[in-house]
Structure 1
Amino acid sequence: MKKILYLGNKLEKHGGAPTSIDTLTPLLKADGYKIDSVSSFKNKALRLMHMLGSVLLKRNVDLVMIDTYSTSNFWYAVLSAKACQLFNTPYIFILHGGNLEDRFARSSTKILDIFRNAKANVVPSHFLKDKLKRFQFRNMVFLPNSIELSAYDFKKRSSVRPKLLWVRAFDKVYHPEMLLEVMVKLSLVYPEIEACMVGPDKDGSLHKLKGISEDKGLNIQFKGKLSKAEWIKVSEDYDIFINTTLIDNTPVSLIEAMALGLPVVSTDVGGIPYLVTHGENGLLVKPRDVESMTLAINRLLENPELAESLSTKGRKQAEKFNWTQVKELWLELLG
């Protein structure tokens, strides 16, 4: 049985959204891998020490998997991999975040060499793979984000009502205030419009947006953080999925929405156009373009044939990310 140490941010118990370490660990365990995953310390210094200490204490593992982000958490990955090198422990990076290209562009040759010397650099999208080619990571492996499709009951939207669902963390990079701006415009034509916003509060904007919503008389339910099963249940009563992000890679929330049959209207940033084809399985607009997103939603409300087509074809797209298919790629990589 192969022993793996998985390093990442396990912050779901502190109210954070689940990340790859939360979702991938149980899936690989079910296929026979013995995996220790760390760290769930909320304090960043303690989390780093836990990661480095685990590399030291678990030197008998066959492999270390390291979640890698473009934020300040990038340094967890660099230092953990450096510790692996000291003990000759093989390691792979699992690269996340639509802004990693900029992070690598500002990194020294020594840091880039740490990634070049990894057993693999796993990228979840062809977008990120294309962006990182210039850094000559010859060991890049495409392994898409996955979902367990059986958990997502498909509901075909043959026509849609002005009921909008937004699922993301409340953070400036996801631009949640854009939904409120769109709601204001749409309420002039659809006074019955309502929305639901689901996700943890990362930067304090949740409270601010609640106040704005009340001041403008918008019908928005703010659910905060919900479990996956809880927000899937909530989704049954909504008809259009809205994604307002400014920076992104291949968001699992979009894949999940498509699996559920929700027509998607999203900004076209990062790797999203690699996932959503405009007019085919979703509608895309420019970031911050409130007018275009308003028109896209109105187009769905006035065109039930388009809504049904996006619902059906979105599900077909989501099926490509089913774990039963993606796991074969992981088993090949891990051996």
Structure 2
Amino acid sequence: MSLKQLTIVGPLPPPAGGMANQTAKLAELLRGEGLQVNVIQTNPPYQPAWVGKLPVLRAGVRLWQFFRTLQRELTPQVQLIHLMANSGWSWHLFAAPVIWVARRKNIPVVLNYRGGYAEAFFAKSWSRVEASLRHCAVILVPSTFLQQVFARYGKDSVIVQNVLDTELFVPVATTGRDTDGPHVVVTRNLEAIYDVASCIRAFAVIQQQFPAARLSVAGTGPELAALQQLVSELQLKNINFVGRLTPQQVAALYQDADLMLNGSLVDNTPNSLIEAMASGVPVVSTDSGGIPQLVTHQKDALLVPAGQPAQLASAALAVLQDAALRQSLIEAGLANAARFSWHKVWELLQQQYSQVLARSTH
């Protein structure tokens, strides 16, 4: 049986974010391969809109609407479901219900699991998670890091990398870099786990060596006020909190950047690092979670321990002050990012989809 119609379940922008962007891009690319693709959105706008202002009620309304959508749109014509899943309440409220509804309707589920919190989440909720996992046809993960987490719990998984928009994230040829005022960027949400504060502290050291250096922080989140206060306390200049950007705006930001900093404390396979490398921007990052499986220290990035802004700054200055090192990181980063192109991901997905359909017809 050949695949003609599938349903993707996952979040969509807005707001833009790693999994939402991946869901939207995957649907677009699969349609480009001639498939009929329906997307069931797990984060649709609240209907009616005023429900969104009532925390408890809005959760109940969204869940009720989600179940109604599943019952209506998971018809016998759907050959398989590609489920975008994450840890925590997102799993319990959206991923698990899809699996159980699909089981009743005899539709195979391809589970696409992502997120750096898997280990902690499984440690607390494994029995409930495993009860749903056993009804998935295959588990796809974007990294060796997550594959190892599943293996520790006795579950096999297959690595299928995140999709990179190779038309959007491209390097730009420049006649010369601003060596007096390098542009440093941070493209993570303003949440505690991404430790943007360490990036700002590292930038303070960078600005001592490059007084005209600029820092752009792209993202939103609950840490904004505290980070703005930190900037004030450190008496830093040329720092711009640009807010949440569209993928097109992020691509434009990278094309104007000289360095990307990432201070995350918990992580899996961050798209931001892949996009930076594809844009020809050298990366200095912590070595949290699955990042060492995504990039190699001193080859296509410089990695430092998490929570160490002084080491983050030292690595950043090494890149900014050594043209040969910078160029080496850029070239290796471009080569690394190439493995996330659609034609390579599609080849892997086709194989998994075909195997799932073959098993479901027997």
TM-score (norm 2): 0.85
1:59 pairs with 2:85: no
1:96 pairs with 2:114: yes
Aligned residue for 2:211? 191
Which of residues 120, 127, 143 in structure 1 aligns to 2:145? Answer: 127
Whole-Å separation in 1 of the counterparts to 2:190 and 2:128: 35
Aligned residue for 1:226? 245
Could you give the per-residue CA deviations for residues 84-117 of structure 1, whole angstroms, max 9, x where no partner exists?
2222221121101111122122225353032122
- C-alpha change, 1:118 and 1:153, in structure 2 (3 Å) is same
Cα distance, 1:14 vs. partner?
4.3
Aligned residue for 2:21? 19
Identity of aligned residues (%): 26
Aligned residue for 2:32? 30
Aligned residue for 1:136? 154
Whole-Å separation in 2 of the counterparts to 1:149 and 1:218: 34
1:307 pairs with 2:322: no
Aligned residue for 1:268? 287
- Residues 141-156 of structure 1 correspond to what in structure 2 (within 5 A)? 141-155=158-172
Contact 2:103 / 2:135 at 8 angstroms: preserved in 1? no
Q: Which runs of 5+ in 1 are unaligned?
A: none
Cα distance, 1:160 vs. partner?
7.2
Contact 2:300 / 2:329 at 8 angstroms: preserved in 1? yes
Whole-Å separation in 2 of the counterparts to 1:281 and 1:28: 30
- Residues 40-59 of structure 1 correspond to what in structure 2 (within 5 A)? 40-41=43-44, 43-57=58-72, 58-59=74-75
Whole-Å separation in 1 of the counterparts to 2:10 and 2:178: 39
- Residues 149-168 of structure 1 correspond to what in structure 2 (within 5 A)? 149-155=166-172, 161=179, 162-168=182-188
Whole-Å separation in 2 of the counterparts to 1:108 and 1:185: 43
Q: Which runs of 5+ in 2 are unaligned?
A: 46-57, 355-362
Which of residues 276, 279, 282 in structure 2 aligns to 1:257? Answer: 276
Whole-Å separation in 2 of the counterparts to 1:123 and 1:23: 17
Contact 1:146 / 1:322 at 8 angstroms: preserved in 2? yes
Cα distance, 1:211 vs. partner?
4.0
| One-letter amino acid matched to 2:98 | S
- C-alpha change, 1:277 and 1:177, in structure 2 (3 Å) is same
1:325 pairs with 2:344: yes
Cα distance, 1:214 vs. partner?
4.1
| One-letter amino acid matched to 1:174 | Y
Cα distance, 1:74 vs. partner?
1.4
Instruction: Give the SS at the match of 1:258.
Output: helix
- C-alpha change, 1:318 and 1:15, in structure 2 (3 Å) is closer
Contact 1:116 / 1:136 at 8 angstroms: preserved in 2? no
| One-letter amino acid matched to 2:118 | L
Cα distance, 1:129 vs. partner?
0.3
Cα distance, 1:7 vs. partner?
1.5
The range that moved more, 178-187 or 243-252, is 178-187
| One-letter amino acid matched to 2:110 | I
The range that moved more, 61-70 or 270-279, is 61-70
- C-alpha change, 1:23 and 1:49, in structure 2 (3 Å) is farther
Could you give the per-residue CA deviations for residues 117-162 of structure 1, whole angstroms, max 9, x where no partner exists?
2111110001110121022223x22101121323222247886743
| One-letter amino acid matched to 1:24 | L
Contact 1:6 / 1:35 at 8 angstroms: preserved in 2? yes
Aligned residue for 2:49? none
Whole-Å separation in 2 of the counterparts to 1:211 and 1:134: 42
Instruction: Give the SS at the match of 2:14.
Output: helix
- C-alpha change, 1:95 and 1:108, in structure 2 (3 Å) is closer
Aligned residue for 1:182? 202
Whole-Å separation in 2 of the counterparts to 1:120 and 1:82: 15
The range that moved more, 188-197 or 306-315, is 188-197
The range that moved more, 264-273 or 54-63, is 54-63
Count residues in correspondence. 331
Whole-Å separation in 1 of the counterparts to 2:299 and 2:332: 7
Which of residues 101, 104, 123 in structure 2 aligns to 1:83? Answer: 101
TM-score (norm 1): 0.91
Contact 2:197 / 2:230 at 8 angstroms: preserved in 1? no
Instruction: Give the SS at the match of 2:285.
Output: strand
- C-alpha change, 1:323 and 1:121, in structure 2 (3 Å) is same
Instruction: Give the SS at the match of 1:149.
Output: coil
Contact 1:195 / 1:221 at 8 angstroms: preserved in 2? yes
Whole-Å separation in 1 of the counterparts to 2:320 and 2:178: 6
| One-letter amino acid matched to 1:41 | P
